[in-house]
Amino acid sequence: MRILFLGDIVGRCGREVVLSRLPTLRATLALDLVIVNAENASHGFGLSPGIATDLLNGGVDVITLGNHSWDRRDLIPHISAAPRIIRPINFPPGSPGNGSVQVELADGRKALVVNAMGRLFMDPLDDPFRCVTDLLTRHRLGVTTQAIVVDIHAEATSEKWAFGNVLDGRVSLVVGTHTHTPTADHRILPAGTAFQTDAGMCGDYDSVIGMTKEPAMARFIRKMPGERLQPAEGDATLCGIMVETDDATGLARRLAPIRQGGLLSQTLPDF
Ligand SMILES: [Fe+2]
Ligand SMILES: [Fe+2]
């Protein structure tokens, strides 16, 4: 299965780079499954139902979220009826929506997508390790599903590395989100799980993690609340990772980063 995962979409320019390039990428890379993290898609904070619908109609199969899941309150009544939008699995019991979704491709193959949130330097939540390993007692890679992708939305690189190693051999891909910065450590772990600490963001990198520079810099310098943060709206880079898995085992065969448009060095998977 050929899977594309794109990191946090930030603001209008992030949405536009994804929606404008995805149809061509789907075709040229022969993608079977496209997953995006969209927790910052609506003006940097949260995801509106309308934008979620645009993404799902524009070539995205599953949307993941994170600590900004409920910034747009209108998503709360919408998410229960939109199973392809998932929020972290370790949110409190009774939270709206689900932390995972099993999707069936047009050819009948199945993929499970899971969203979890780290706890180091983030809001206290249930144990993401236990929540995901509990879920995986009901889903067996290569048996009940051809692929399993886990978005670990976390601040600390250590927690994400630990997550990848705990799940090594049991899922196809563990990819980090939330730091909005792509890491160069994409690799296949010893038991066959593809891993990258952070997919990076789809947004304008002439910014502070996607937000306009001046107010963001002022917060650090003055240590006072200031102007509201706004998404930067220059040329955006589409940023993420592509993985090809073996349908028989569900494990990763190869992976490569993708960066298209905007400021970052450009790269496209060559398989
Ligand atoms: Fe984010
Ligand atoms: Fe986040």
Q: Per the CATH hierarchy, to which homologous superfamily does domain 2-260 belong? A: Metallo-dependent phosphatases (3.60.21.10)
Ligand nearest to the CA of 199: 1
Q: Per-residue DSSP letters for the chain?
A: -EEEEE--BBHHHHHHHHHHHHHHHHHHTT-SEEEEE-TBTTTTS---HHHHHHHHHTT--EEE--TTTTSSTTHHHHHTT-TTB---TTSPTT-SS-SEEEEE-TTS-EEEEEEEE--TTS---S-HHHHHHHHTTS--BTTTBSEEEEEEE-S-HHHHHHHHHHHTTTSSEEEEESS----S--EE-TTS-EEES----BB-SSSBTTB-HHHHHHHHHH-S--SPP-B--SPPBEEEEEEEE-TTT--EEEEEEEEESSSSPPB----
Ligand nearest to the CA of 67: 2
pLDDT tens across 60-114, in order? 999 999 999 999 999 999 999 999 999 999 999 999 999 999 999 999 999 999 9
C-alpha 65 – ligand 2 centre gap (Å)? 8
Does the structure show a pLDDT above 90 at 227?
A: no
**Catalytic residue positions, numbered:** 68
pLDDT tens across 204-223, in order? 999 999 999 999 999 999 98
At residue 245, the pLDDT reads 98
Domain boundary assignment for the chain: 2-260
Is the model's pTM score more than 0.95?
A: yes
C-alpha 48 – ligand 1 centre gap (Å)? 15
